[in-house]
Structure 1
């Protein structure tokens, strides 16, 4: 039996191609990997560049808190009087030497208010860090769910493509029997190519979405696919439940921390308006009498008005501003929560209507129109319209799932809890 040279060549080429593919896979430095939302959030918290600066800010403020604990240092001074002169004072016989130790005592509880202000600034930095984490995790989740949406959309288009190919097979059978219109065949061929084009476009969008997701932790590792789904629950948290959480929301706690900081700053500025007292104790030596003396002194500035009045007024304005911002932010947050709650109610109603009413009717429409087409009592156009109605409903349903998930995510970001619908 003779060997076909063409088959031999093809076999060799197959071996070479397989070897090249294996070598390429083996030499790949960072293979593609699957990714869950938990892994994405963990990577973000560990490697996000925007979050890395906050530990340094906190350490910086801790160093300033350490500095705030330092009290005024005692001062040691030596003073020589009548060291040289004329007449009886020419030979330093009348010199008086005084060694003085002085200590400044802070009045008005300056140390206590300074420490309180420094600690409040440190607390504010920590809360800023927590807020940054919440915002960054929310952005990571948004990008993750965008990939989920595109994956599901790709699956939906693929499912629609399978239905189109199945319809094409039925039309081909009818064409063989001589009862199908060639225009119908061309039409369904075009729809199949259109679906393939849509799959290609979604694939490109997925690649970009995965790159944007991995950019949250500055990684160039390719993500194969993300693992997860949209939460499919009909339970929506009540409006009262959401509004009750506003008081303890991260944003509100941060505003309260800034308000405390402004209050401590005002108290410190008032304390700086209280004059400090300096006590001194010294030993003097008179050379003429060869005698020693003890000296004691007390001093304080003479202020006929508050020397810190301007800073006190500025601190009062800052406190009033922080109180005003806190009040306004509370009202703004309430309105946002109410708006999101109404959006959830609307989306939930639409989803229930699509699931219980529209989708069953669309499937019935597909079945009846296809049967009518096979009997020759309707056109392919009506069959394709019925199929397109089903596809558009499924696409609308997927879009609503995505929007509901993002709304729940935004509520979680604003009020700092995971709503009951999760």
Structure 2
């Protein structure tokens, strides 16, 4: 009798330890010795090995060369002219020939050179914003995959806890059956629940493996053996007011890129106007008369007559593109504002869910399950009560993981949209560590 009582107490103790054990992924698995990757390391690996960013780096170099090319002046022209030779009569030979050696230089007026340089510089600045947007997008995708892996690891930890709890409950039922306090059919019900828990554990283990492989592809790596650092997954912080977040729209990368496109079209309009100014060509040379054996200087200036082409079509096109760029900048800001408002609403909702589950739902479900489990040992509750309370408790834990994932994804989305961190204690895209603007 004493042995059976001790066995029952041991089973309850094991169940209590499972219920109150911290949700540490891989706690009961041999993967605990695997290297742990933090989100900072994931971002660094991704940015270092991403071919899109490598291509953007080459484009940045090309834009820098274009800035240098835009400041180059027109080349001078060298000409050699030979007259009065190879004809008939006294011009049959070269005795009456006249030779002119001339050097010509076109002079750019209207500020063409500086306008070209400004267009190239604005293009380079726009390229930097496009590169920054690509970098933020790539880093955000990697962090999203990181969060998926962390959530999968958390689900595996919960599944392991559920398996361990069902094993301890099955042990307690066997002792009750041996003591004649329960029918043998109860063992089959608990055995079935244990089999379901083990099946769920295998499913989430496959989910973890798939999430790890997808994350490794972010830096073109093989699946490898690593786990994602998940100690901060349950950390949440109060969110700022929506109005405060909306004040930062103008400094966001998306709006800055649109503003950069507007500035470039302004410079293109200035260049089109400058190209409508005609450029004179100055020539200076020396002329030799073979018959008189004399030399003379030759000077010339030529100016195109702007009768038909004053670059009016290009100027009108540049004006239209400038109007378009202004409207696109306004549209980009409005679109960003809509996305930020949507993202803030998701974050606000997820935060409420996390706090409610953490402070109300899970403690109540745990207390209910513990009470029913102890009551079952005392014969006050039936088998179905225990199974129902267990299902409610672990369903609440699963909802908590989903809510935490939604919360962190919403934080990440706002960081991606605004190009800055929105919370002090929960941050993913640490811009100061990898931006080079």
The alignment status of 1:359 with 2:355, answered yes or no, reads no
The 5 A counterparts of 1:394-409 are 394-409=397-412
| Counterparts of 2:364 and 2:109, CA distance in 1 | 82
Q: 1:289 to 1:149 in 2, by over 3 A?
A: same
**Residue number in structure 1 paired with 2:55:** 53
Displacement of 1:211 after TM fit? 0.9
| Counterparts of 1:268 and 1:193, CA distance in 2 | 75
**Residue number in structure 1 paired with 2:321:** 318
- Post-superposition CA distance 1:363-396 (Å, at most 9, x none): 2321332243334343211111011111111111
| Counterparts of 2:270 and 2:311, CA distance in 1 | 12
The alignment status of 1:116 with 2:113, answered yes or no, reads no
| Counterparts of 1:372 and 1:85, CA distance in 2 | 127
Displacement of 1:32 after TM fit? 5.9
**Residue number in structure 1 paired with 2:178:** 176
| Counterparts of 2:276 and 2:256, CA distance in 1 | 30
**Residue number in structure 1 paired with 2:206:** 204
**Residue number in structure 1 paired with 2:330:** 327
| Counterparts of 2:234 and 2:315, CA distance in 1 | 53
**Residue number in structure 2 paired with 1:35:** 37
- Post-superposition CA distance 1:102-136 (Å, at most 9, x none): 11011111110111111111222222111111111
Gap regions ≥5 residues in structure 2: 1-32, 427-437
Displacement of 1:84 after TM fit? 3.2
| Counterparts of 1:266 and 1:181, CA distance in 2 | 90
Assess if the C-alpha contact under 8 Å between 2:236 and 2:351 holds in 1: no
Q: Give me the CA root mean square deviation.
A: 1.8
**Residue number in structure 2 paired with 1:382:** 385
Assess if the C-alpha contact under 8 Å between 1:49 and 1:217 holds in 2: no
The alignment status of 1:78 with 2:80, answered yes or no, reads yes
- Post-superposition CA distance 1:114-170 (Å, at most 9, x none): 111111112222221111111111111011111100111111111122222222222
**Residue number in structure 2 paired with 1:12:** none
**Residue number in structure 1 paired with 2:190:** 188
**Residue number in structure 1 paired with 2:286:** 283
The 5 A counterparts of 1:102-113 are 102-113=104-115
SS at match of 2:226: strand
**Residue number in structure 2 paired with 1:66:** 68
Displacement of 1:174 after TM fit? 1.1
What is the number of residues matched between the two proteins?
A: 392
SS at match of 1:51: helix
The alignment status of 1:232 with 2:235, answered yes or no, reads yes
- Length-normalised TM-score, structure 1: 0.88
SS at match of 2:291: coil
Assess if the C-alpha contact under 8 Å between 1:113 and 1:264 holds in 2: yes
- Post-superposition CA distance 1:254-294 (Å, at most 9, x none): 11112111211221122122111101112212223332222
| Counterparts of 2:362 and 2:305, CA distance in 1 | 87
